Amino acid sequence: MLRSLLLPFSTMSDPKLCLEALSALTGCNVESTTGSSQLTPQDLVNIVALREFYKQEGLKQIDYQSESLGTLSLQDLDDKDMYSSPPALTEGAEASFKTTVKINLDEFFHSQYNYDFTKLKDGDKTFLRGNEQYVRPCGWNRVALRVTNKYDDGDQWLGTGNDAWPVSYQGHKMDGSPGIILARDGNPDDEPNFLEACVEHLVNEKTRGNGVYSTPNIKMAEKYCKTFKSKVDGMMYKVLLQNRINPERREKCQREDVWVVYIPEGTNNIQTKAIVQESIRPYGLLLKHV
């Protein structure tokens, strides 16, 4: 079961900063409302994860089939993604390429489970989730998302026992390119082995790009994270998603710390989103000072 952790107020849990982080991840203007949210945490992981998948597929835009989100453009502008139905040009050139999505902070976040990892160093300590190693995001601050009692199969996926799902991290632009799949920290293996791995990567249908990628390695995810400058305090921040991944839906790539959820060829948009929901579920927004 989850354990309550009532933490002292932190700048990184400032609602305005969290909204900026969500805006950076989604590519739209995320604002607060006292009404119902137009975006759920699961929508968040769908947007972040599927944006790269659809770009792999060669699409320039997709219909998100939601009145609040409309059509998602996959075109980059200064490394920022844009949504259709832009607001008025008077809001500025950058804002004109984005739509506004409103969320209810109480519905979206779950402050009871916020956790400050910024001062922690685990060293040789080992943590498990779903009987697999959990590399905690030391150096980061986690703002918890409200995901309990949201799925038909209960909350076991979010626990710490053997039936829990392992932890993965979602970085910006984590696609199926060989550079991500095969890159190693430090010097790569000798060239023949590297080229052999490239060929295997390209011919293996479950690791050649047709899917959604994440990693259990927080340091690797950080290399592909989104960075933004906050208007709250003028500081630069990195932002990632902390997820749980269904071990039955995940495939390990040639590099073991890269996981892919395979999406079969010919799968339509509705089926694709269903696969993601059954495979990857977010539970934390991670923030870190640059």
Q: Where along the chain do its domains lie?
A: 12-289
Residue 125 neighbours by CB distance under 10 Å: 8
> What ranges make up the beta strands (E) of the chain?
29-32, 61-63, 71-76, 81-83, 100-103, 115-116, 128-129, 132-133, 141-144, 167-170, 211-214, 226-229, 236-245, 250-252, 259-262, 280-289
Q: Are 217 and 134 in contact (CB under 8 A)?
A: no
- What backbone phi and psi angles, to 5 degrees, belong to 208? -105, 10
Mean pLDDT within 204-217: 70
Q: Are 263 and 210 in contact (CB under 8 A)?
A: yes
- Rounded percentage of the chain residues whose pLDDT exceeds 70: 66
Mean pLDDT within 40-67: 68
**pLDDT surpassing 70 at residue 191:** no
Mean pLDDT within 232-261: 89
Mean pLDDT within 95-99: 59
- Rounded percentage of the chain residues whose pLDDT exceeds 90: 44
User: Higher-confidence residue: 223 or 70?
Assistant: 223
Q: Is the pTM of this model over 0.75?
A: yes
**pLDDT surpassing 70 at residue 70:** no
Task: Supply the pLDDT for residue 145.
Answer: 96
Report how far apart the first and last C-alpha atoms of the chain are (Å, whole number): 33
